[in-house]
């Protein structure tokens, strides 16, 4: 069992009651469950405890929900070190392990493992979805974090993935260019999906093997941009959703309102990252061998 957590919100709209705020914004719990939490003293307004559920909120107020300790889902901590020096740490993350806390996970995360293993934990400079395995890059110093973050912004870091997608693309190579942004979602308030109001996102796809299993194609995907869940959303948008994806379907939108982005089941592996070392005049290419079902006879 973990130690519990405090979730902080800042109110952005006025004339809504405390109970309505939580019941409408966080629909993973019922209205009755939120009422019980408020009445039990688990929620405060501007650090003032035991508010009335019918308190009308004002813009700028700070809400704290004190979640009691809970038992987290089991995860694999079979984490391999692919590269390490005084500036960088590059790891091989197993599928099923979240990078950061969220979605019912707090200590059973890569961040929790880093805090236990390192006196000064290295900081991830990009994310992998919980169900995505493979290469993840972390910075050990502020100098490294600054350099790597700039390389990401300037699209100087190349990330290659292997993905098993439904369907048979006609072209051997194709590019997906569809904006990704937040859309309303009842379970969480919002999630990321394909939307015209989102930010630019580009995915370059190469067919590695058709019929890797019946009616499924093994793809190499590189992403110059790095939007949340980009490959899952883009392949679904193009008509080739990841095999086993419980959330994103045709069009790059959520198709199952009982699922959340951290649900696993899809096959996606970060197998190669190329970057410039933040303090040394050299480039680095780090690879993680894909699992068997994502391993073609030849990877480019």
Residue 193 placed within a domain: yes
Of the residues 67, 89, 118, the one at which a domain ends: 67
Residue 66 has pLDDT above 80, yes or no: yes
Residues 113 and 232 in one domain: yes
- Please compute the mean of the pLDDT values over residues 6-27 and round it to a whole number: 91
Residues 100 and 228 in one domain: yes
Q: What is the per-residue pLDDT for 131?
A: 96
Q: What is the per-residue pLDDT for 185?
A: 81
Of the residues 21, 39, 67, the one at which a domain ends: 67
Residues 187 and 260 in one domain: yes
Question: DSSP secondary structure string, the chain?
Answer: ----EEEEEE---SS-BHHHHHHHH-TTS-HHHHHHHHHTT-EEETTB-S--TTPBP-TT-EEEEEEPP-PPPP-----EEEEE-SSEEEEEEPTT--SSSBTTBSSSSHHHHHHHH-SS--EESS---TT-EEEEEEESSHHHHHHHHHHHHTT--EEEEEEEEES--SSSEEEEE--EEEEEETTTEEEEEE-TTSB--EEEEEEEEEEEETTEEEEEEE-SS--TTHHHHHHHHTT-PBTT-SSEETTTEE--TT--TT-----EEEEEEEEE-SSSS-EEEEE-PPPGGG--S---
- Domains: count for the chain: 2
Residue 132 placed within a domain: yes
Residue 158 has pLDDT above 80, yes or no: yes
Residue 14 banded pLDDT, cuts 50, 70, 90 = confident
CATH code of the domain containing 177: 3.30.2350.10
Residues 209 and 117 in one domain: yes
Q: Which domain holds residue 44?
A: 5-67
Residue 75 placed within a domain: no
Residues 22 and 121 in one domain: no
pLDDT tens-digit map of 194-249: 999 999 999 999 999 999 999 999 999 999 998 999 999 999 999 999 999 989 98
Residues 180 and 229 in one domain: yes
Residues 94 and 33 in one domain: no
- Please compute the mean of the pLDDT values over residues 16-22 and round it to a whole number: 96
Residues 145 and 185 in one domain: yes
Q: What is the per-residue pLDDT for 300?
A: 45
Question: Which of 1-5, 52-56, 296-300 shows the highest mean pLDDT?
Answer: 52-56
Q: Which of 45-59, 80-94, 147-161, 185-199 has the lowest mean pLDDT?
A: 185-199
For the entire predicted model, the pTM comes to 0.87
Average pLDDT, the chain: 93
Residue 297 has pLDDT above 70, yes or no: no
Of the residues 67, 88, 109, the one at which a domain ends: 67
Q: What is the per-residue pLDDT for 94?
A: 98
Q: What is the per-residue pLDDT for 274?
A: 98
CATH code of the domain containing 17: 3.10.290.10
- Please compute the mean of the pLDDT values over residues 171-177 and round it to a whole number: 98
Q: Which of 15-29, 116-130, 140-154 has the lowest mean pLDDT?
A: 15-29
């Amino acid at each position: 069992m973990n130690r519990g957590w405090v979730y902080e919100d800042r109110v952005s709209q006025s004339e809504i009651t405390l109970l309505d705020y939580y019941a409408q914004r966080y629909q993973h719990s019922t209205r009755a469950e939120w009422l019980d939490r408020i009445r039990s003293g688990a929620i405060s307004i501007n650090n003032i405890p035991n508010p009335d559920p019918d308190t009308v909120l004002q813009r700028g107020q700070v809400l704290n929900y004190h979640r009691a300790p809970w038992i987290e889902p089991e995860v694999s901590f079979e984490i391999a070190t692919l590269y390490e020096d005084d500036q960088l740490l590059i790891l091989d993350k197993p599928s099923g392990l979240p990078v950061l806390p969220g979605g019912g996970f707090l200590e059973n995360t890569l961040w929790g493992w880093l805090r236990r293993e390192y006196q000064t934990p290295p900081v991830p400079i990009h994310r992998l979805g919980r169900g995505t395995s493979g290469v993840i890059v972390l910075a050990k110093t502020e100098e490294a974090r600054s350099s790597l973050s700039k390389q990401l912004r300037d699209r100087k870091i190349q990330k290659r993935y292997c993905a098993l997608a439904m369907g048979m693309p006609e072209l051997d190579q194709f590019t997906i260019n569809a904006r990704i942004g937040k859309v309303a979602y009842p379970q969480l308030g919002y999630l990321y999906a394909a939307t015209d109001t989102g930010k630019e996102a580009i995915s370059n796809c190469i067919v590695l093997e058709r019929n890797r299993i019946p009616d499924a194609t093994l793809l190499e995907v590189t992403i110059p941009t790095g939007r949340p869940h980009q490959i899952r959303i883009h392949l679904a948008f193009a008509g080739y959703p990841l095999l086993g994806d419980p959330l994103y379907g045709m069009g790059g939108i959520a198709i199952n309102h009982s699922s959340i982005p951290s649900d696993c089941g899809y096959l996606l592996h970060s197998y190669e990252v190329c970057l410039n070392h933040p303090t040394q005049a050299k480039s680095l290419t780090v690879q993680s061998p894909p699992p068997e079902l994502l391993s073609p006879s030849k990877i480019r």
